[in-house]
Amino acid sequence: MTRSVPLNQRVLGKRSRARTAMPSIDMPLLTVVCMLAAFGLLMVYSASIALADGPQYRNYGHYYFVIRHTLFLSLGAVLAGAASLVPMRVWEKLALPLFILALVLLVLVLIPGVGREVNGARRWIPLGIVNFQPSEFMKVAMVMFASLYVVRKKETISEFWRGFVPIILVVGAVGGLLILEPDLGAFVVTACIAMGVVFIGGIALRWMIGMVGLFGGVGAIMIWFAPWRRERLFVYLDPWKPENAYGSAYQLSHSLIAFGRGEWTGVGLGSSVEKLHYLPEAHTDFIVAVIGEELGFVGVSLLIIAFAFVIWRAFEIGRQAIAMERLFNAMFAQGIGVWFGVQTFINIGVCLGVLPTKGLTLPLVSYGGSATIMSLIALAILLRIDHENRNLMRGIRQ
């Protein structure tokens, strides 16, 4: 005679087995990230292969950019692997020191002889064979700092003097340093990260609206009193005007031509015409235009879906961390979602002519050392948060 097992014990046993069988890492997210990185490497190769035929890069060789991008991805993967091994409680302790380090680097890059100047912008610190861009490090540091700010100010974050003013002053200081480089794009993304995290963390809506108005006003003043920025804004409104198409809107007009040539399914991988010295920065800021030309509407749509999945998972991982009362983890995860969402929207919007032209790379896809490495590290920490969420579901505390 077999002994019957009570229904509640059978249910608990099934739940326990389900928790045990649950993988310790978010494989769909990791797969999509790896696919984006691999796709970016392929598109950097396609967009840069012809650059050596022009006068600007004649000494670089046809495989210069793809080789360097491969090295950046490899270094980023190693550092991301190391970052994923660090418990989140350690990252929380390091949040403030890393933010201060990022501020120091933003100051150092402005010092003549330390920072490297290219086309009037001083954004890089030479480190031998590579140039480090502190503004990319600041994006990760700002996610950490804003997350820590929410944790420490959770009782007073809705107050004006104790919650709103301090974060405004911090973002203003960072923004001032970024504007001095000048790097308006990095300032916009960094400000959006800070505003997004504190808004999710509970800052009052009226202060959030005030923050948007304040930084929006600062941005408008910067554009109005900088002739080259003002020109970019006005030519973006009418890129096909002859003097614009052959002048300040040259890049935008050729980006739109690339999308037009791609139509639904593209002209074929490697068959872009615009990358043949017609479209400037085809392998960096305007790589989506090359994707649109070679892979068409279908290719760009799949790319957007991939980024939407990464952003959705970031917010979902954050929601799970909130349910487990891991506030810093939650804010960090959702801050990554804000960062990738804003930067992806701006980059693709610029290429499509929806937004004024601004130099911002597409995370994981565009060519770039610091941006690629910092993006991989940020996503590795996101996967670490998810890993700790899953361990908590199993009853394992870290």
Whether the Cβ atoms of residue 266 and residue 293 lie closer than 8 Å to each other: yes
Q: Give the pLDDT confidence of 218-250 residue by residue, as tens digits.
A: 767 766 766 666 666 667 677 777 777 777 778
Strands (E) in 119-176, as ranges, are 121-127, 130-132
In whole angstroms, give the CA distance from residue 22 to residue 334. Answer: 23
For the beta sheet containing 116-118, the strands, ordered from the edge strand earlier in sequence to the opposite edge, are 116-118, 121-127, 130-132
CA–chain centroid gap for 72, Å, is: 16
Whether the Cβ atoms of residue 384 and residue 83 lie closer than 8 Å to each other: yes
pLDDT at 368 > cutoff 50: yes
Residue 337, pLDDT score = 97
Q: Give the pLDDT confidence of 74-132 residue by residue, as tens digits.
A: 999 999 999 999 999 999 999 999 999 999 999 999 988 887 877 667 888 888 777 88
Helix (H) / strand (E) containing 118: strand 116-118
For residue 315, CA distances in Å to 11, 140, 327, 352 come to 30, 16, 13, 26
Q: Per-residue confidence at 31, pLDDT binned at 50, 70, 90?
A: very high
In whole angstroms, give the CA distance from residue 315 to residue 319. Answer: 6
Residue 21, pLDDT score = 57
Backbone angle region of 268, left / alpha / beta, with phi > 0 → left and psi within -120 to 50 → alpha? left
In whole angstroms, give the CA distance from residue 244 to residue 252. Answer: 10
Q: Give the pLDDT confidence of 166-215 residue by residue, as tens digits.
A: 998 999 899 889 988 888 889 889 999 999 999 998 887 787 787 778 77
Query: Six-digit token pair at 172?
Result: 């203003």
Quote the pTM value.
0.89
Backbone angle region of 325, left / alpha / beta, with phi > 0 → left and psi within -120 to 50 → alpha? left
